[in-house]
Structure 1
């Protein structure tokens, strides 16, 4: 069946599709690997070309029975199933693209099952044949998981029966596959082999369709969640950054910090003290003793005053000054009655 213009032959395209499926069925590489995805793209491309060629040649008709189809053409009924298999294993970067692949794979599997049902190869539930209809999908899953799938759940006995039939079918197809490798194969064996393959893929297509419908529901719920998501709150106003002030020891330090950190407000201790006196936090100093103001005005002079005061106190003690002796005895008595650490214990025992 070679087309004009040197185009690929339908049997060659089918062999390419089959070869791609065998590679994917036996590979242990992850589905996202380059080799796997390359095989998938090759299979999809060859499969779609083959399907278009089948349609152009009008190889199948809804008015025919499977007995009327030529033996070497029966295998082409598998093409939509293969393309569906490749499509659902194709990786995408965005979730929106995944939704499109799920719909495409569903359409291919459904087309395959519809053809099998039309030719009487297998009896297919009508609900599965209408999965591409949006109204049917909504009817199957109005408020959660597809109810249609729940209705298709088999009983335990039916599952056991299906499992046994599948096991027998797999063994039969494996046996026929070995016979197909012989140099001369009877037409009857070929026909039985291709029909066995189709029946195998009917089971595979049903299982994959159920998985795809579950995925369709999950994608739908995801869309709904995104649609129901409230708009993001307006960004909160940023709090003004805390700007510390620096108390410098003298005007030289103020100049240094001011030069290095021009954005930070600075003040000398004298300026700080004057500001506190002005707002009433500190009280003006008395004439007795040294004060913070004295130290701020002239630190060296204040230090000399403290040393002079300490020296006078020491001289009075050495000379047995009555007033200083009385102060010292009072302090000793106070220490005897107030052990260290007693102060401000806040009922700590």
Structure 2
């Protein structure tokens, strides 16, 4: 049974007049057999299905074990598919879009899908590494689309600029010369986002109307080709948005991370020490918080009275009781009571002013 290498597989694909890589078979003495392992189309379909499940899943958190397991499986499938595409040399920057078979156009999405699934990883300790890897996948996809003339867009830099370098040589941020360009750039960026959003919605509507025919096998080759090109254009807008978000997040992560070589050395912790004077003072005045009472308020007042601090300012309970007893005895005196009654009777029979002649006393 002969062994077929990547070059031979590429030649077979060329010789079949644009036969898709998914349908590539190897002739043998016993007929024809498919290449060993999963087919390229199966790997792409599996990776895309897992990405859609992660994107539209009902899991409460993207860090759930079930979600991360799908992310890992999807990345493995897409990485194997990307390796097969590289071995078959399906795409080249020296080719035109018309030279690509309609069934092979969908494999252009492999870098974009790899970038989208890479962003779904939630390992915070490797977040910066995942962002750099995802950005590289998106940029590779955009560069490939640019070489085939798919869409008109500005290709971002190959790598995000470290913080501080993008502003090097520019005027002072607070100066009027720098304020005007920044406003123009912000307005231009906002307008570009609006245009991308409108284009994305239009592409989604067109794809939704064509998906049933293409997936049901009722579309001809021209419709299939248009469907895949629309998908590529949609992912171009998605990749541009993701690269912009990745650059912003990388700036934040790099500003938080300590520079290399400037990490603080772990110093030996200081031993606690106690001042003898403070220890003695704490025994007298306590530890700085209220303690339990040692006497009642009445005991304290009696102690102060015996010391003469509050003498003459008030009377004791015994003296008060004595005064009340004397008052009660006075009220019980019969002579005094009779005198008071007589005086009341006299006031009843003699009106006020009685005996006063013309107000003369």
TM-score range, shorter chain: 0.5 to 0.7
**Take 1:53 and 1:140, find their aligned partners in 2: how far apart are those partners?**
38
CA contact (8 A) 1:99 1:219 kept: yes
* 1:176 positional shift: 1.1
Q: 2:230 aligns with which of 196, 202, 223?
A: 196
| Pair 1:132-2:162 in alignment | no
Cα distance 1:336–1:131, how it changes in 2: closer, same or farther (>3 A)?
closer
Partner of 1:67: 98
Partner of 1:214: 248
**Take 1:84 and 1:191, find their aligned partners in 2: how far apart are those partners?**
23
Partner of 2:135: 106
Q: Which secondary structure does the structure 2 equivalent of 1:154 belong to?
A: helix
Q: Which secondary structure does the structure 1 equivalent of 2:257 belong to?
A: helix
Question: Which structure shows the bigger proportion of residues in helix conformation?
Answer: 1
Q: 1:28 aligns with which of 22, 44, 58?
A: 58
**Take 1:337 and 1:139, find their aligned partners in 2: how far apart are those partners?**
86
The correspondence of residues 35-50 of structure 1 with structure 2, limited to 5 A, is: 35-50=66-81
Cα deviation, 1:243-278, whole Å, max 9, x if unaligned, reads 9999xxxxxxxxxxxxxxxxxxxxxxxxxxxxxxxx
**Take 1:200 and 1:183, find their aligned partners in 2: how far apart are those partners?**
22
CA contact (8 A) 2:93 2:147 kept: yes
Q: 1:15 aligns with which of 32, 35, 45?
A: 45
* 1:25 positional shift: 2.2
Partner of 1:174: 208
Scaled by the length of structure 1, the TM-score of the pair is 0.62
Name which structure has the greater RCO, CA cutoff 8 Å, separation 6+.
2
**Take 2:75 and 2:49, find their aligned partners in 1: how far apart are those partners?**
12
CA contact (8 A) 2:114 2:134 kept: yes
Scaled by the length of structure 2, the TM-score of the pair is 0.60
| Pair 1:76-2:107 in alignment | yes
* 1:155 positional shift: 5.5
Partner of 2:336: none
**Take 1:173 and 1:88, find their aligned partners in 2: how far apart are those partners?**
24
Partner of 2:178: none
Cα distance 1:179–1:238, how it changes in 2: closer, same or farther (>3 A)?
same
**Take 2:193 and 2:159, find their aligned partners in 1: how far apart are those partners?**
26
**Take 1:38 and 1:26, find their aligned partners in 2: how far apart are those partners?**
15
**Take 1:174 and 1:190, find their aligned partners in 2: how far apart are those partners?**
13
